[in-house]
A = this chain, B = another copy of it.
Amino acid sequence: MRGTILYAPGDIRSEILPDPTIVEPTDAIIETSATCVCGSDLWPYRGINTFDEPWAIGHEYVGVVREVGTAVTTVRPGQFVIGSFIASDNTCPHCRAGYQSGCAQLAPVLGCQAEAIRVPLADGTLVPTPDTPSDEMLPDLLALSDVMGTGWYAARAAGVAPGHTTVVVGDGAVGLSAVLAAKELGAERIIALSRHADRQVLAREFGATDVVPERGAEAVARVREMTGGVGADSVAECVGTDESLTTALDCARQGGGVGFVGVPHDVALPIARLFRNHVRLQGGSAPVRNYLPDLISRTYAGNFHPGRVFDLRLPLADVAQGYRAMDERQAIKAFLIP
């Protein structure tokens, strides 16, 4: 089957690899109907995250169950399923509390830029859709597997509530998804920090009421000005740099919430600032599994189109082109068709 290997920074190849097989009785094998390239895949592609061995990359997927292990009871061959990029048992105390991305048994789902994948802990990880969706629905459903689920967590961790003024830091696919999440969760004013024209357009389509092209201290000054000096009720940080987190913290009002989902890279948390501003801070990898049933329902109900973040469609074999386009910011997110 066709899969994708990152050999070294910048060296990504589509290759014919061995078909995945059941290893544990809790595994399932999925034939992917669609997969994609994640902003976080660019960290190793750019050589910022180092790695020692060729990497079967990709962690986002939707598809049809081909085979299940003997211990799997809740999904069966032929079903269309979505799963998180983190496999979870969905029964441990952390899962039951809604933090499946902190599952006692958590395992990554690997090698998803491929025609078929092995998903561990299938019962706890995969959620079947109500039916086999049309091709038109695939982008919306695929987005739930990571970016939309992550944007949702960013908004939830930030405590977005009806009537809020919410700031979203970062205009990548996750930041844009956080805008959509804030809209769905009832934020009244959504200020997107974005300096790219195409992303600004999508941010507004997703519900942003204001776009601030400035960054850092200038962005903070603009947000302060727009909120009468008070700051935002909730801030979703979707980048993961020191500047973006500082910006997020400084945009929040006294006692406001900051949700951070950008994997932190060289970030020094300013505790004195947290102390002074009483900000509620929560971050981490999103418990996507927790949100999948709700997000699938919203997608099936229509009027919820997180798949709009995909602005480049490619055959899986052309995966390298997807990485290049995203690396050069020619595309927000590349959708890959096996």
Contact = CB atoms under 8 A, between A and B. Distances in A.
Interface of A: 93-94, 97-99, 101-102, 104, 157, 228-230, 245, 253-255, 260, 263-264, 267-269, 271-272, 274-285, 287
Report the copy number of this chain in the oligomer: 2
Nearest to A102: B254
A278 B101 CA distance: 9
B284 A263 contact: no
A101 to B, nearest CB: 7
A274 B284 contact: yes
Given A264-B271, A271-B269, A280 B278 contact: no
Contacts of A260: 275
Contacts of A276: 102, 284
A236 B34 CA distance: 45
Contacts of A229: 104
B280 A281 contact: yes
A101 B276 CA distance: 9
B285 A255 contact: no
A283 B272 contact: no
19 contacts: A94-B253, A94-B255, A97-B253, A97-B255, A98-B255, A102-B254, A102-B255, A157-B278, A260-B275, A264-B272, A264-B275, A267-B271, A268-B268, A269-B269, A274-B281, A274-B283, A277-B284, A278-B287, A279-B282
Contacts of A287: 278
A6 B64 CA distance: 74
Given A93-B228, A278-B284, A280-B280, 16 more contacts: A93-B230, A94-B230, A94-B255, A97-B253, A102-B277, A102-B278, A260-B275, A263-B275, A264-B271, A274-B281, A274-B283, A278-B282, A278-B283, A279-B282, A280-B281, A281-B282
Nearest to A259: B280
A104 B94 CA distance: 39
Contacts of A263: 275
State the 9 A-B residue pairs at the shortest beta-carbon distance, nearest first. Answer: A102-B254, A269-B269, A278-B284, A94-B254, A99-B254, A99-B255, A280-B282, A264-B271, A93-B230
